[in-house]
Amino acid sequence: MNIVMFGAPGSGKGTQSDLIVDRFRLTHISTGDLLRAEIKAGSEIGKKVEGLIAEGKLVSDDIIVALLRKKVETTKDTAGFIFDGFPRNVAQAEVLDEILKGIGERVTVMLDMEVEEKTLIERLILRGQQSGRADDNMETIKNRLDVYRNVTLPVMDYYKKQGCYRQINNNGTVEQCFAQVEAAIEDASK
């Protein structure tokens, strides 16, 4: 079981991923978390990406693919993965297929978290106030939503063509969303 969590910034991918981990025991890989760990550690990669993330731009495919590949290929004994924040463009979607093929796996289901834009912005501003994440401010949020619309949205068609696309409505509560997520995963694993 390999799940791609898809959706705009603030659409609840991380929150739902945590619930999926508890229920289905999968390995959660958040590319945003991997990058923030590099920044915190003060690594070369961290120094390269810090400014880009603060501006709401995407990090280069080379960097992010290398981090993701390493994480997937060094994780042993797992029932599967939850990819959160990856793929963010079609080239990354193609690489993910290749990486999974290398370990005899494939994407089982892509969960598209749909949230109204007004709600996305409210949630991100609130998160910025609570967590102090450098990219949760109004200007960067606008850039991230533009990148999502222009670069990331085509990834949806990529998975629709593969027949593993599922839409989830996350305008309601966390619990209402997870009920749909659970049903979609159970359905996909039949």
Task: List contacts with ligand ADP (CB under 6 A).
Answer: 9-10, 31-32, 35, 52-53, 56-59, 64, 85-86, 88, 92, 135, 144
Closest approach of ligand ADP to the CB of residue 88, in Å: 4
The gap between the terminal CA atoms of the chain, to the nearest Å, is 11
**Lookup result for tokens 């370990």:** 103
CB-nearer residue toward ligand ADP: 58 or 186: 58
The two tokens of residue 53 are: 């993330």
- Which of 38, 185 has the CB closer to ligand ADP? 38
Task: For residue 28, report the phi and psi dihedrals to the nearest 5 degrees.
Answer: -90, 120
The CB-nearest residue to ligand ADP is: 32
CB of 19 to ligand ADP, least distance (A): 17
What is the smallest separation between the CB atom of 23 and ligand ADP, expressed in angstroms? 21
- Nearest-angstrom CA–CA distance, 71 and 167: 27
Kindly tell me which of 9 and 181 has the beta carbon lying closer to ligand ADP: 9
Helices and strands in the chain: count of H runs, count of E runs: 9, 5
Q: Which is nearer to ligand ADP, 139 or 187 (CB)?
A: 139
* Alpha helical stretches, state H, 25-137: 31-41, 44-55, 61-74, 90-102, 117-131
Q: Dig out the tokens for 19 from the structure.
A: 């619930």
Nearer to ligand ADP, 85 or 177 (CB): 85
| Residue labelled with tokens 């619990």 | 175
Closest contact distance (angstroms) between CB of 18 and ligand ADP is 14
CB of 159 to ligand ADP, least distance (A): 15
